Structure 1
Amino acid sequence: MAEIPPKDDFKWFGEGFQGFPKHLPEDVVEYIIFVIDSKLSDVQTRERLQAFKRAMSDLEKKFLKEYTWQREGINLELIREEGRWALQGRTNYGDSVADEWLIVYFLRELSKQFPDAWLRIYDTDGEFLLIEAANALPQWINPEIAENRVWINSHKLLLIPLEPKAAPKPLSLSEAFKTIRTKPNPLIHLEKVEKEAFHRLSNYPAAISSNQHHATLPLPRKLAAILHTNLSYISPAVEAFYLRDPISLRLIQPKHNPKGLTFPPEDWVTVSVRFTRVLYAQLRSQEWVPPEPWGAALAKLLLSSPWRDSRGREKAEMGVKLAVGFEMLLQSQTYADKKAVREIQLLLEDITSGEEPLPTDTEIEEWGKREDDEAWLDINFEDFEKELSGKGNAAPEGLEGRGFGDKAAQENLRKMVERFEDFLKDEDAGLEGAQGLDDMDMDNDSDISDGDSDAEDGDHERDIEFDENEFSRLLREMMGMPSSEKETLTSKAHDLARIKEVDETDDIEAEEIRKLSERMEAELNEHGALNLDPTPRKLAAAKDPFAAMKASSSKGKGKEKATEPDTESDVESNGEEEELDIDFNLAKNLLESFKGQGGMAGPAGNLMGLMGLQFPRDEAGDDDEPGRS
């Protein structure tokens, strides 16, 4: 059967080409909002979307006053899609999945205020809301047909069902609009699916503030002034340090950087810095030896209060790391186009020109200091093991352990354990997963339009059965065995070939099969079929392999008795005649296959070698050329 090419969802020119397939970059979530109301004009629809955008800004002002995004925040822009206005946004959330779910929370909340708004949200993995609800999904929905079927409307998760009696296929955006516009009621709302899809939102909006972490660190005064202006600058700085390379490390050393340092490690002040938990963990987990002059600055800090003890040493090291991160951010051309870098450069120009004086110690004290507990970083492995075993809630009230992280992490782990236990309790699940999957659950790497032909191929393969007569004929022809010895051997081969499935755990059946295999092997050895060394009979046949063909009938097929000559130049023989069964067409095909190898190793040559036939190489190549061997 021909190999099926991998599915790439791409149609070439002349085959309905609709543009190159779109794929989101890694760690990116995209969201799009449509207003579907037949009573609204095009202008009114645009105004409605603008109102949605203003409502999003209000939510951000209300909940994100002290929120730091890992990389990018929410951004919505008006676009034209399928002939209608829409709001579309894309956010790179980096390593902070919490940012992605914050966007889901905001969009879902706004869907209550705008019942005519229909929202889609998806990321690099596709419909990640369905991935969250995988164990609760109905059988008919799967990744191959899920695109444009998952919508958020009026705080609900809705699915566009399959058309009755129609082949399962993905929906285009225009088809989804048509269904929502003309038949909104048939959309499916499954509470269990919705609960699983949005289970991470159960702690919102409280989770918004709990995702932040405040720490008191030493920083150069100039850097403290920059951060006080906008704390969101910390995200690209931590990333620059986290992803540092040898070039960035050279740029933070004055001897390798003729421009000098932007934030020289001097005039240190103590300030409170707000991180996301991911940023804080990334910065703290980095092990490195600071080069000069940063190493000397750190050593000097550790001699002063309050950085002398072990706790203070960690904070001093993090302050130096953060200062180095900002230095790398501004020195490296990799980050020159970032909005934060351009803004910091403008602020530095104001400080250098004297328009913005550096803050005094008194002013810095008025900023206030905040130090959050770092218990969420600690892991109590005993509690972790209890959670994995499903016994996390077994401890009496007031006697619980310290835990293994924040509440959200514990809740997520409990959810994973519950899902795994549900799977183990599923009587329909087997060694390869849940049973009863339909054809659309299997990714066969072929377009849905080719499903019928694939099904026919599959039926054709299932119809192929073992042909006993053909097996006997091939066995006779290739082994060249006398007729008197064929029936016993082929009957045993038939018995072995008819065995479809063998339960290896059944000792009785396994033993019977082993004995049968041993008997068959013994018979084959007795007749020399497994002997790789040339036998007298094989050598005699090899001396003139065309002897029987020369005497064959004009039909091209026949049987002759080949007598082995008893001469000194030939292999010793008892002179007795033995019957050799030769199929003219089979021999001809073998010779043509051997010729096609061009003197190289190949299946025909290997097969003939096992039969004791050693042919010379075909040096000439064509039948008509002289000198043919």
Structure 2
Amino acid sequence: MDLGPQDDFKWFGEGFDGFPKRLPDDVVEYLIFIIDSKLGDTQVRERLQAFQRALVVLEKKFLKEYIWQRESIKLDLIREGSHWLLKGSTNYGDSVADEWLIVFLLRELSKKFPDAWIRVYDTDGEFLLIEAADALPAWLSPEVAENRVWIQKHQLLVIPLSKTETPKPLDREEALAIIEQTPTRMQHLPKVETEAFHRLKGYPAAISENQHHATLPLPRRVAHVLHTKPSHVAAAVEAFYLRDPVSLRLLQPEKSDVALKFPPTDFVEVSVRFTKVLYAQLLGQRWTPPGPYGDALAGLIKNGGKATSRSREKCEIGVKLAAGFEMLVQHKLYANKKNARELQLLLDDLEAGEEILPIDAEIAQWPKLEDDESWLNIDFAEFERELAGKGGAMGAEGGFGDKNAQENLRKMVDRFNKFLEDDSTGNDRAGSLDPMDMDNDSDAERRAWDDPEDSDETDEEADDEQADAEYAEYEKAYETYMSLSSAEKSVLLDEARELANAEEADKEEDDEIQKLTEMMEAELFSHGALKLNPESDKKSDATKNPKLDKGKGKARLDKVDEEDHADEDDDEEEYLDEDYNLADNMLKAFKGQAGLAGPAGNLMGMMGVQFPPDADDEEKPRKGKS
């Protein structure tokens, strides 16, 4: 019997030990183990520390001027269970190149450390296998792949299923035990390896190719910061890219009552080093600068002489970058960020006179680099040829953009074509539409009746616009949240849990009050305390006198009609005495308690009214005794 996917998840009461852990979006995590039966704990630690030192050497060799999108590679020596290991994670943001750079560095180090076993995974899981999806054996599905994929001696190795093993993912300890006890069981699949590492073909040359230099007008303070530490550009660009209303308010001193720390004045021409992703993020943002930043942009364009599209574009990018630095150093959201703290220290040094801004003559000596921006351009004719699988050879003239983009697109096209050619995928369905998939409901011209969709089109468009606006607001909030550090996210989650618990407690209290109210109403009704007009009930009963059923029908109707009019008059008199009726009913309910505790007595006690024992009740026992 098919039980559906088995994920070994235990429900409450079945040994539940927490929900499955999942990495945040845009985060890659990596683990390095030293596996050698001849080494003790001390030697293993020494080997791991040597791995750390080798990474530093490799960074100095290849990453001297590299700018990470959000975080750099980092390895911490820790102990988990019975193993010492190096563990790290990197938030690469929108720069997938950072993720593959980490894979390149760790794979390079695996050549120098043959006893090192390396595992790399991200939000999607075993992303190396995702790259090699077209070459995977049938058994190596995502459901069983966890902890089976390792890098060792520059190779991609896989722990295969044994003949008696139930298809399932391995936990880490199981995988390490297999590597330690039966290392020959590991499989090297050349086709899988080639596909998994195809993005690394251009490395290490691709590291420098990912950089982009542009000469921009910047405030002297910003120019000094970037000359001192170029990597600050990444944090400033992200602060601008993820700007919110608070950030925009901070750019306007007349609204925020806070002085600008990077005022858009005293502009100088300097060369700035970006990654291609960072430069594209700034270039692609449509933004109308507020307050002094708008004035600064207008002045730059005016003083630049002929306002060509290129000069205006560079002015806009310079103003955006200056605004990003202001947001980064002013917004409380970034107060605990390393870049913001370093910037604040630099500003403090400038205020104290320990640092001096560079003069024009000094800035003139700085190198000015301007890289070609053709990688931003797309030749759509060539793009169409690539989609058709008819593009020119790699590196040929007239490509539609970046070489890596071309190769990735070719791989996508090849995979899609193979998918269509694969009989097992049902390519007959891929090439044709199911009749139910065809939208012919709105073909009103062929029908004699009106299409309600046509009449509601305007309302639907309005709803769509509102939904788009709400989704855009959600996306903006989500991006801001994802830019927070783990500590900040933890604080927000704790506050959310407290709020949810408080709301749940309030709901439970309201439910309890509702139950008590219903019980009290039922008790009062049983004693007649809530009947404001009891006499009307008696009179309504009188109309049901069997004697009225005797005689002719017309006589009976006349009689009932007369009594109905009489009842209406009596009801009007009764409604005038509601207070009297309520007091009478309360007294009767209190009497019905027979001296015991009850709702009527409790209500009167709450109103400060205390009644003596009923005189009738006192006489009854005396009569009984005589």
Q: TM-score, normalised by structure 1?
A: 0.66
What are the Cα deviations for residues 47-95 of structure 1, in whole angstroms up to 9, with x where unaligned?
Answer: 1000001111111111111110010000100111231100000000000
Would the aligned equivalents of 2:135 and 2:191 in 1 still touch at CA under 8 Å? yes
How far apart, in 2, do the equivalents of 1:112 and 1:383 lie?
39
Would the aligned equivalents of 1:82 and 1:173 in 2 still touch at CA under 8 Å? no
1:420 aligns with 2:419: no
Distance change in 2, residues 1:391/1:213 (3 Å): same
Deviation of 1:5 (Å) = 9.7
Deviation of 1:306 (Å) = 6.8
Alignment of 1:166-185 (within 5 A): 166-185=165-184
What are the Cα deviations for residues 116-147 of structure 1, in whole angstroms up to 9, with x where unaligned?
Answer: 00000000000000111011100111111111
1:135 aligns with 2:134: yes
Alignment of 1:85-100 (within 5 A): 85-100=84-99
Match of 2:585 in 1: none
1:44 aligns with 2:43: yes
Partner of residue 402 from structure 2, selected from 376, 396, 406: 406
How far apart, in 1, do the equivalents of 2:361 and 2:82 lie?
59
Q: Report the secondary structure of 1:303's partner residue.
A: helix
1:102 aligns with 2:98: no
Q: Report the secondary structure of 2:184's partner residue.
A: coil
Match of 2:292 in 1: 293
Q: Report the secondary structure of 2:144's partner residue.
A: coil
Match of 2:150 in 1: 151
Output the amino acid matched with 1:415: K
- Determine which structure has the larger helix proportion and give its number: 2
What are the Cα deviations for residues 475-534 of structure 1, in whole angstroms up to 9, with x where unaligned?
Answer: xxxxxxxxxxxxxxxxxxxxxxxxxxxx99xxxxxxxxxxxxxxxxxxxxxxxxxxxxxx
Would the aligned equivalents of 2:419 and 2:427 in 1 still touch at CA under 8 Å? no
Deviation of 1:14 (Å) = 4.9
Q: Report the secondary structure of 2:273's partner residue.
A: strand
Would the aligned equivalents of 2:224 and 2:358 in 1 still touch at CA under 8 Å? yes
Q: Report the secondary structure of 1:121's partner residue.
A: strand
How far apart, in 2, do the equivalents of 1:148 and 1:248 lie?
43
Deviation of 1:165 (Å) = 2.0
Q: Report the secondary structure of 1:24's partner residue.
A: coil
Would the aligned equivalents of 1:377 and 1:405 in 2 still touch at CA under 8 Å? yes
List gaps (5 residues or longer) in structure 2: 436-626
How far apart, in 2, do the equivalents of 1:180 and 1:219 lie?
55
Q: Report the secondary structure of 1:44's partner residue.
A: helix
Would the aligned equivalents of 2:421 and 2:427 in 1 still touch at CA under 8 Å? no
Output the amino acid matched with 1:81: E
How far apart, in 2, do the equivalents of 1:258 and 1:8 lie?
56
Distance change in 2, residues 1:271/1:307 (3 Å): farther
Match of 2:487 in 1: none
Output the amino acid matched with 1:135: D
Would the aligned equivalents of 1:213 and 1:274 in 2 still touch at CA under 8 Å? yes
Match of 1:215 in 2: 214
Would the aligned equivalents of 2:250 and 2:258 in 1 still touch at CA under 8 Å? no
Distance change in 2, residues 1:432/1:181 (3 Å): farther
Would the aligned equivalents of 1:294 and 1:320 in 2 still touch at CA under 8 Å? yes
Deviation of 1:17 (Å) = 3.6
Distance change in 2, residues 1:266/1:84 (3 Å): same
How far apart, in 1, do the equivalents of 2:14 and 2:429 lie?
37
Output the amino acid matched with 2:355: E
Distance change in 2, residues 1:376/1:276 (3 Å): same
Alignment of 1:105-504 (within 5 A): 105-305=104-304, 308-393=307-392, 400-401=397-398, 403-431=399-427
Would the aligned equivalents of 2:27 and 2:123 in 1 still touch at CA under 8 Å? yes
Deviation of 1:289 (Å) = 1.0
1:58 aligns with 2:57: yes
Would the aligned equivalents of 1:307 and 1:313 in 2 still touch at CA under 8 Å? no
Q: Report the secondary structure of 2:46's partner residue.
A: helix
Would the aligned equivalents of 2:219 and 2:322 in 1 still touch at CA under 8 Å? yes
How far apart, in 1, do the equivalents of 2:306 and 2:409 lie?
36
Would the aligned equivalents of 1:127 and 1:146 in 2 still touch at CA under 8 Å? yes
Q: Report the secondary structure of 2:345's partner residue.
A: helix
Deviation of 1:200 (Å) = 0.4
Distance change in 2, residues 1:102/1:432 (3 Å): farther
Alignment of 1:530-545 (within 5 A): none
Percent identity over the alignment is 66
How far apart, in 2, do the equivalents of 1:299 and 1:336 lie?
31
Q: Report the secondary structure of 1:231's partner residue.
A: coil
Q: Report the secondary structure of 1:108's partner residue.
A: helix
Q: Report the secondary structure of 2:187's partner residue.
A: coil
Would the aligned equivalents of 1:9 and 1:21 in 2 still touch at CA under 8 Å? no
Deviation of 1:8 (Å) = 7.0
Would the aligned equivalents of 1:307 and 1:315 in 2 still touch at CA under 8 Å? no
Deviation of 1:389 (Å) = 0.2
Q: Report the secondary structure of 1:185's partner residue.
A: helix
Provide the aligned C-alpha RMSD in A: 2.3
Match of 2:574 in 1: none
Deviation of 1:172 (Å) = 1.4
Deviation of 1:419 (Å) = 1.7
How far apart, in 2, do the equivalents of 1:433 and 1:54 lie?
55
How far apart, in 2, do the equivalents of 1:156 and 1:303 lie?
58
Match of 1:550 in 2: none
How far apart, in 1, do the equivalents of 2:314 and 2:102 lie?
32
Q: Report the secondary structure of 2:390's partner residue.
A: coil
How far apart, in 2, do the equivalents of 1:169 and 1:244 lie?
44
How far apart, in 2, do the equivalents of 1:6 and 1:314 lie?
54
Deviation of 1:281 (Å) = 0.3
Would the aligned equivalents of 1:301 and 1:307 in 2 still touch at CA under 8 Å? no
Q: How many residues align?
A: 432
Q: TM-score, normalised by structure 2?
A: 0.66
Would the aligned equivalents of 1:307 and 1:316 in 2 still touch at CA under 8 Å? no
Deviation of 1:12 (Å) = 4.3
Alignment of 1:548-559 (within 5 A): none
Moved more, 106-115 or 253-262: 253-262
Would the aligned equivalents of 2:23 and 2:123 in 1 still touch at CA under 8 Å? yes
How far apart, in 2, do the equivalents of 1:433 and 1:89 lie?
44
How far apart, in 2, do the equivalents of 1:433 and 1:202 lie?
36
Q: Report the secondary structure of 1:370's partner residue.
A: coil
Output the amino acid matched with 2:281: Q
Output the amino acid matched with 2:402: D
How far apart, in 2, do the equivalents of 1:252 and 1:118 lie?
50
